[in-house]
Structure 1
Amino acid sequence: MASVLHNAGIYTSFTGLAELKRGAHEQSPQARKEVTRQFEAMFIQVMLKSMREASEPGNEGSSDQVRFYQQMFDQQIALDLARHRSIGLAESLDSHLQPMSGADARAARQLPEYRLPDVSQQKPPAQNMDSAPGEPVQEVSQWMPATPRDFVERLWPAARKVAQSLGLVPEVLVAQAALETGWGRKIPADSNGSSMNLFGIKADARWKGEKIGISTLEYKEDVPHREHAYFRSYASPEDSMQDYARFLRENPRYEKALQSAGDSHRYLQELQKAGYATDPGYASKIRSIMDSERFTGIVGQLRRI
C-alpha cells in the first residue's frame, strides 16, 4: 500500500484515494496518517485561497482559465507543503484519532458534557448612523466578513443611503471599501479592536475622535514604502460611510470629483487626481472590482430584493 498511498501526493490521483478508503475500512495506521496529511493539505489550500483573495482584491476580473489553473496550482502546492513542510496539524489529528486503551476510553466517558454558551439573548453592538464627526467612539464593533458576499450585503443598505446623498451609485462606495480593506479582512486594528475604517481616512489635526496607529503602505513618486500613520476609528461600518461623505464635502479639493458623481469612472479618476490615495492605480483597481463578474452578480441580486 505504501507505494500507492504515495501517489496521493498528486492531487489528481484517484488510485491513491481508493487505497485511502480501503485503508480506512481496515483501520490501517498508515492510511490514518495519510488521511490526516490530506486534511492538512485541504486546510493549507483554504489558507492559500484566502491569502490570494486578500492580497489581490482587484483580480476578480481574471478569466475562468486563469482561476482554474490557479486552483490547480494551489491544490498541488498545498499537498506538497503538507507532505514535506507540515504545519503540525496532521500530527495533532493523528494523535487524537489513534485508538484509545480501555482505561483511556473509560476516562473519556466520565468527562462532563460541554455546551456552547447561549448567545441568543446578547444584544448586538449599538450603531449610530447620525453621529457627529469626531464624536468619541463608545463601543467598537468586531465585524469580520467571512466572504465577499457577506461584505457587500453588510454594507449595501448604508452604501445606498450615503451614495444617494453624494449623487453616486452604491457600487462605487462598496468597491472602494473592498479595495481599501481587502474585503473587510485588512481593516486597521489594534489591541482594542477594529477601527471600522472602510476608506483609509487618516486622523489629522482636525479629527477629535478616536484614532488608531498602524504601519501602512504609501507611494511616493510611484514607489511603495512603509510608514506609521494614524487613522480614524468608528463605532460601526455605517459611521465610517457617513464620515466618508462628510470628509469629501468638507474638503474643497474633492469638489470636482463630487461634481462628476454621475459618472462613476470619472468620479474615481477625479478622486485620485485630487490626491485621495497615493497608489497610481487606485481608480483602475476600484473599477476592476466594480466590473468583475462576482461583484456584479452579488449587486444584481441585492438590487432585485
Structure 2
Amino acid sequence: METFDDDLEILDLTQNVFPTRIYDRNNHFDQMDNLTFFRSFRLTKPTVLHVLEQIEEQLEYPDDRNNSISPVHQLLICLRCYATGGHLSSCANFMGIAVSSASRTVKKVTNVIAGLRPHYIEMPMLEDAVTTSNKFFSKGAGMPKWDSYSHSIPGGEDAELFRNRKWYFSINSQVVGDAELRIRDIVANLPGSTHNQTIFVNSRIRARFDANEFPNFTLLEWILGKNYLLTPVADPQTQPQQLYNEAHIRTRNSIERLIGVWKRRFPVLACDCRLKLETTLAVIPATAVLHNIAIQMNEGEPQQRAIWAI
C-alpha cells in the first residue's frame, strides 16, 4: 500500500525531471535608451505611458502570486509581439517569460487595447470634417476622404476562405483615413477571399450614410454616400477630367501612405501573423488604435530601416 511518504518521493522525482524555471525579467523601460526602446517596441516611452494610463487597471492582477507580470511589462510584451510579426518564442525570450505566458498576455492586452476603439477611431464631426477637407485641398488633392483595403496574414482553420485574389492567405480590411493619416473607420473581420465591394456594401459606414447620419457632410457624401465610390476616368480628354484624375491619384496616395506607415509601425500587419485567428482579428483594430494614439502624441513616422533593427 502506498504511503504519504511515497507520494512525496514521487513528487520530488518529478520536480527533479521537470524543474520549475524562474525567468529573469529585464526592465526594458528603464534600461533602454529612447532610440533602442522605439526600435524594439515601435512606440516612444511617453506614448507607452499614455496608453498604460488608460488600460492599467484592466491589466492588474489581484495579487503577486507566481511572480505575476506587471501591467507595464504586459504592455511591452504585446508591443514586442507587434514589432516582431507575431513570433511568440522570440518575444518571450526577449522579455524573459515563458512562451505560454507571452501567448496569454498578448491575447489579453490586445483585447484591452482594441476596447479603446470607440475613443480613437471615429468619423469626424462637422467641424473636423471641414478641417479634414481643407487639409486635403491644401495638399492639392481636391478630395476630402478615401477608403482603401489592406491585407493582414491570418492563421487558423478553413484556410481556403482566406486565400485572396493574389493567392496568399489574408484578412481583408477596409480603412477610412484622413489627411493626417489617422484611421477614421475600420472593418477587419472578413477573410481575404471577400471582395472589396462586398465589404463596403455590408459595412456600418455605408449604413450610416444611407441613414443620413452626416447630412451636412456634402463632400463626404459625394465620395462615400449616394454614389459611394468615385473611380478615375479611364481615358481623360478634357482638362477637368485630367485634373479630376490627378486629384484622385493624390487622394489615393494619402490612404496608401497611411497603410504603409501603419504597417511599418507594426510589422505584425505585414508579416505572417503566427497568432490564433481570434487574436489576429483583434490585433488589427488594436494596432489601428495605437497608430492613432501615436499620431495624437506627435510621434514621427517609423523609418523603413527600423523594422529590421529589432
Which TM-score band (shorter chain)?
under 0.3
After TM superposition, the score normalised by the length of structure 2 is 0.23
Structure possessing the higher relative contact order (Cα contacts under 8 Å, 6 or more residues apart): 2
Larger radius of gyration: 1
